[in-house]
Amino acid sequence: MNGKKGSNIEISINIPSSMAKVKQLDQAGKKSSNGGGGGFSLKAWVLKVWEFSKEDSNRVKFSLKVGLAVLLVSLLILFRAPYEVFGTNIIWSILTVAIMFEYTVGATFNRGFNRALGSLLAGILAIGVAQIALSSGHVAEPIIIGISIFIIGTITSFMKLWPSLVPYEYGFRVVLFTFCLIVVSGYRISMGNPMRTAMDRLYSIAIGGFVAVLVNVLVCPIWAGEQLHKELVNSFDSVAASLEECVGKYLEDDGSEHPEFSKTVMDEFPDEPAYRKCRSTLNSSAKLEALAVSAKWEPPHGRFRHFFYPWSEYVKVAAVLRYCAYEVMALHGVLHSEIQAPYNLRITFQSEIREATSQAAELVRSLGQDISSMKRSARNSLLKKVHSSTERLQRAIDVHSYLLTSTCEPQDTTNFSKPLPRLSQTLTNTFSDLPNQLTDLDSSNSLETNLSQQLNPSTPQQTESNYHELMRKQSRRLHYSWPPLQVDAFEEEGSAGDFLPRMKALESTAALSLATFTSLLIEFVARLDHLVEAVDELSKLAKF
């Protein structure tokens, strides 16, 4: 049920869900592309591939580099001379390129180190076990080989689960399958010569690893350090944009239109692109940690020209930034909550809220710009501005906290889009009009008494109570984003004595929604101090 506030008429509108809309669009696209019949659409597939490649051009570069590396290794088989030297063992070069070639240079070095160390260790173990098995006779030879395979498989599988050895999990896997392949094939194929089999395969693995590293470094290299640097800078911009977007919508929304509950649960807000970027920032911790681990394996390059660059500090800064992003996501939760503060109450403090938001977003963008340009700027003035604007917001909430309670009656229900009068304005108007109010007090009281007696001479108190009750009901429907159906249900359940305390509690809850929003904004500013300290520590260790 979607209804407008301020009206007793409820309109039922059947809106299809988002999944139904997607299915309808897909069916319409298929019909238009295939002449009304179902099937595969080549044009739609090409467009999807183009959009996917356009998002990140490095994807195309990586694919082309892998194809080039596999081609170079395959030439050893296509030409007769290399094939006569290595034979069928040259296929290990192709397998090494396919397994070892990673997206970034650092990840390729990491995978290559595990591959080289695992293959070398497996080769040494295989040669030793094969020599022991050959010297034991034909009866004990298969028994020794079988027992050795069982022991190596058990040990490597257990060690790769050890917490401190998890980064070398691929190396233990390489030890296992390389050892098994060398020992088993040497037992059946090499006719008692495992040394030659092991050396040929080690040579083939070395050739494949050399080609993979050479192509990845020399042909359009994709550095993990640059990727980590760029991801962190984009996270700063996403948090700042999402903060401004959330506060802007909170102060501009008059409560007349709210998204469906299904969209709120599924976080489907197409008009809030910065919110989706901020949400992706919260889910990027694993990606940033993987990039930091890969960047440690890379040699000095580009702007990162000194050894032992503090890539781990990037992860720490990202962790502090995520804690700030948690507050932004909480602000979005208040924005899309079912209980909303009155619009006129929100715009009463809009100047202080907007000022604190703009100063905080400017500071976050300044920190991201410092990391992007790798230069330290004077942030003390910005930090002081943020603190001063936040203190003004706190003082405004403390001084005018009476507006967040429902003890006073609404003054004018027709002008609910105007901000509520503050204490200074109320006191000024009261003291300026005090003489006129004193002179007109007696005449107004007598006039109201006569008028009420003419309208209903029998029950004057009942008429006044009915009038105030009607005004309270109209105020609730105009000021609060509470469904009118629930208000009527509360009124029908019991007497007015039971209904009024519950309704006042609901009104207080709606008014305190603004206090929740401002407290989350103040907490976001408080966490910026830790973010500034983390960026300063990064700048000192990175020497910029």
pLDDT of residue 295: 92
At residue 443 the predicted structure's pLDDT band, cuts being 50, 70 and 90, is: very low
Average pLDDT, the chain: 75
Amino acid at position 449, single letter: T
Q: Inform me whether the pLDDT recorded for 23 exceeds 70.
A: no
Mean pLDDT over 58-80 rounds to 88
For residue 387, how many other CB atoms are within 10 A of its CB?
A: 16
Q: Inform me whether the pLDDT recorded for 269 exceeds 90.
A: no
**pLDDT of 362-373, one tens digit each?**
999 999 999 998
pLDDT of residue 533: 92
Q: Which residue has the higher pLDDT, 185 or 186?
A: 185
DSSP per-residue string spanning 254-271: -SS----HHHHHHT--TT
Q: Inform me whether the pLDDT recorded for 27 exceeds 60.
A: no
Mean pLDDT over 60-87 rounds to 85
Q: Which residue has the higher pLDDT, 71 or 257?
A: 71
Q: Which residue has the higher pLDDT, 248 or 20?
A: 248
DSSP annotation of 191 reads S
pLDDT of residue 65: 93
Among 90-99, 177-186, 355-364, top mean pLDDT goes to 355-364
Q: Inform me whether the pLDDT recorded for 455 exceeds 70.
A: no
pLDDT of residue 477: 42
pLDDT of residue 17: 46
Give one word for 39, left, alpha or beta, with left for phi > 0 and alpha for psi -120 to 50.
left
Lowest mean pLDDT among 180-189, 346-355, 489-498: 489-498
Q: Inform me whether the pLDDT recorded for 421 exceeds 90.
A: no
At residue 506 the predicted structure's pLDDT band, cuts being 50, 70 and 90, is: low
Tokens representing 148? 């050795």
Phi, psi of 334 (to 5 degrees): -65, -35
Helices (H) and strands (E) in the chain, counts: 22, 0
Among 8-12, 67-71, 265-269, 445-449, top mean pLDDT goes to 67-71
Q: Inform me whether the pLDDT recorded for 278 exceeds 50.
A: yes
DSSP annotation of 420 reads P
At residue 188 the predicted structure's pLDDT band, cuts being 50, 70 and 90, is: low
Q: Which residue has the higher pLDDT, 320 or 406?
A: 320
**pLDDT of 408-418, one tens digit each?**
444 444 444 55
Phi, psi of 301 (to 5 degrees): -155, 155
Q: Inform me whether the pLDDT recorded for 496 exceeds 70.
A: no
Lowest mean pLDDT among 49-53, 369-373, 495-499: 495-499
- pTM, two decimal places: 0.71
Q: Inform me whether the pLDDT recorded for 462 exceeds 70.
A: no
Classify each residue of 100-125 as buried b or exposed e, where b means 16 or more C-beta atoms within 10 Å of its C-beta: bbbbbbbbbbbbbbbbbebbbbbbeb
At residue 323 the predicted structure's pLDDT band, cuts being 50, 70 and 90, is: very high
Pairwise CA distance, residues 227 & 105, whole Å: 11
Pairwise CA distance, residues 540 & 534, whole Å: 10
Q: Which residue has the higher pLDDT, 188 or 177?
A: 177
Classify each residue of 415-444 as buried b or exposed e, where b means 16 or more C-beta atoms within 10 Å of its C-beta: ebeebbebeeeeeeeeeeeeeeeeeeeeee
Q: Inform me whether the pLDDT recorded for 10 exceeds 60.
A: no
Q: Inform me whether the pLDDT recorded for 487 exceeds 60.
A: no
pLDDT of residue 81: 75
pLDDT of residue 291: 92
Q: Inform me whether the pLDDT recorded for 248 exceeds 80.
A: yes
At residue 106 the predicted structure's pLDDT band, cuts being 50, 70 and 90, is: very high
At residue 127 the predicted structure's pLDDT band, cuts being 50, 70 and 90, is: confident
pLDDT of residue 222: 92
Q: Inform me whether the pLDDT recorded for 422 exceeds 90.
A: no
Q: How many residues does the chain have?
A: 544
Q: Inform me whether the pLDDT recorded for 83 exceeds 80.
A: no
Q: Inform me whether the pLDDT recorded for 263 exceeds 90.
A: no
3-state secondary structure at position 409: coil
